[in-house]
Chain A
Amino acid sequence: MKKNMMVTGLVLLAAASSLSCGKKDEKFESKVKLIRTYVNRKDEAGNPVVTDAEIQFTACPGDIRKVIRGGGTFAKCIADKKPGEELSINMVHALKRGGKYTARVVNVGGCERAPDPTDSRSYDSFRICKEVKTDGILVGFHCEVGSSEELVKACPWFGQ
């Protein structure tokens, strides 16, 4: 009896600790600028079936972009938007392949998107650039390309 209780206790403890270790999927909302859309596939009637959209996060420092691919209703809905348009975006902070976190886009400008976990096309591009000068002369550039502290402070959905 005592032994069973101990085992149950240990199992509960392990379950509780594993739950506390896992990060809950947080939800975020922001604004983006639509850079471009590209209809990747059309059906026989000429309606978009799969569309890529490149969006730029205007609230984040630097040039932070996301290329997202979506099918179904999203493909048609996003293809109707104009490049340069400012859209609202809803995201879920979730673990992606490779063990890193990403901001999964679930809605852009009213276009619902069901993220496909097998999608290997969508990606993020982080660039917070500054000029490099030597002896006061411009010689090149330096871009932070990771999920930097500055970026996560302004846009927490990019936190790892």
Chain B
Amino acid sequence: MGRPAQKKRLTTFSILCLALSALLGLFLLSRRLEAQPKKGVPVATTPAAEKLPVDAKADAVAKSKGDAGADAAAEPDKKAGGDDDKKGDDKKGGGDDDKLPAEDALNNASGLSPAGVPIHDKGKFKSPFANPDFGKPVEVKVGMLITDISQYDIKEGTFEATFYLSLTSKTPMPKKLNLVFPTGKVEALDPLADRPTFKLYRVNGTFKSPPDLRKYPFDSQELTIEVEENSKGVDQLKLYADEEHTRFDANFQIAGWDLKYLEARSLSRDLPARFENDDLYYGRFICRIGIARFGTSAIFSVFVPAFVIVIIGLLAMWVTPDEMEVRSNGGAPMLAGAVLFHFSLIQSIPATAYLTRADKLMIGVYMSLLMNMISTWCFFLVDEDKHDKVFKIARVLVPTLTTILMVVVCVV
């Protein structure tokens, strides 16, 4: 076969590989662009900021971000009862005949607002769900024994959890508690004990925690379970994390992940105004489980294949110009392979609005292969008598630049 025919075949082959890589690359890019926040879409404001006066908005934003608001939960004795410390056990809790969890509070409302909403004119809160006659709020310790976490789907950010939830207090809790799980969908809430000062539930449900993939594949995730009592405000009930009784079951494990930490905290928060004078704060218990991906697994599943692609690509640098077919075969197919590998990587995680560590690594791989291909194309552009010079320069320059590049993408 003559030289021009071989050259033509090589060029066609390279163009085909490049076209395939470009198509797949465009697909990857479109997925990334889809993940970018769209212009003009209003950013959600914090509930507290919407409702509070202007001077209190900054404080409210800080509270919603940092779980502050816990001031109410953390200082029970100082704020308990406030000015209206009327005690009367007959008024604690709703009557047994009441149908709604907060019916007692609604019945005790002293009047109606102009908009027709029941209102309390005494006590700290005007909300119809406040209970100024309740007396000192009950301090409830919340414990959680986590027995199982499974089906963690990082793409959806969902996981299934089974745990025991205990509520203990020294004084009787209000009747008709209405526990809700804001970040999850509970499939089973089985009460095992229901006494005024002690309640125990076995809970099973699916919960949601958005993943943080900036460090993927060396990422750590935080799985969150939140419990809120949303019919009794902090004027009746304050939740505290029970350190002694919040833990994992024996030999607890999450398949594929290394267990790192367990964090629990309580906070009090308000809701965006659902009606006039909706100013009551509610207690919330938050449990966070820290997990990390196994480093060895991450290295072997992501870094090793990427480096193998780069090394095989670099081997072409030692192929002399008279073996152009072999040399070019070391570049274009590797680029296609890299794009396919990148595609398989992003299939296992959700679209992100930022680059993950794996993305940065793949950029390094693409750049390395591009340099490799440019060095091969140079032989078609320069005169034949300069091929030896190009060969020698490329053999030193491309591996050196690739090494620097790969070190940079691995460190940054």
Contacts and interface: CB of A to CB of B under 8 A. Distances in A.
Decide whether A and B assemble into one complex: yes
Given A129-B243, A139-B265, A141-B263, 10 more contacts: A67-B250, A98-B253, A121-B250, A123-B251, A134-B265, A139-B68, A139-B266, A140-B286, A142-B263, A146-B259
A135 B260 contact: no
Contacts of B68: 134-135, 137, 139
Contacts of B248: 145
Contact of A145 (B70, B251, B262): B262
Contacts of B246: 141
Interface in B75-119: 75
Nearest to A120: B251
Contacts of B243: 129, 140-141, 143
Interface of A: 67, 98, 120-121, 123, 125, 127, 129, 132, 134-135, 137-146
B263 A139 contact: no
Interface residues of B, number: 28
Contacts of B266: 139-140
B251 A137 contact: no
A146 B291 CA distance: 10
Contact of A139 (B67, B250, B258, B259): B67
Contacts of B300: none
Interface in B15-41: none
B264 A123 contact: no
A140 to B, nearest CB: 3
Interface in B47-81: 62, 66-68, 70-71, 73-75
A146 B263 contact: no
Contacts, number: 70
22 contacts: A98-B253, A127-B247, A132-B263, A132-B265, A134-B68, A134-B70, A134-B265, A134-B267, A135-B66, A135-B68, A137-B74, A137-B75, A138-B74, A141-B241, A141-B243, A141-B263, A142-B263, A143-B247, A144-B261, A145-B259, A145-B260, A146-B261
A124 to B, nearest CB: 9
Contacts of A134: 66-68, 70, 265, 267
A67 B249 CA distance: 12
Given A98-B253, A123-B251, A143 B263 contact: yes
A120 B253 CA distance: 14
Nearest to B264: A140
Of A120, A140, A141, chain B has the most CB atoms within 10 Å of the CB of A140
Nearest to A98: B253
B251 A139 contact: no
A143 B74 CA distance: 19
Nearest to A138: B74
Given A123-B250, A129-B243, A135-B68, A145 B261 contact: yes
B70 A146 contact: no
A120 B251 CA distance: 9
Contacts of B260: 144-146
Interface centre among B71, B73, B75, B265 (most CB of A within 10 A): B265
Nearest to B243: A141
List 10 A-B pairs, minimum CB-CB distance, nearest first: A140-B265, A139-B70, A140-B241, A123-B250, A137-B74, A142-B263, A139-B265, A141-B243, A123-B251, A134-B68
Contacts of B262: 142-143, 145
A146 B267 contact: no
Interface in B155-197: none
Contacts of B259: 145-146
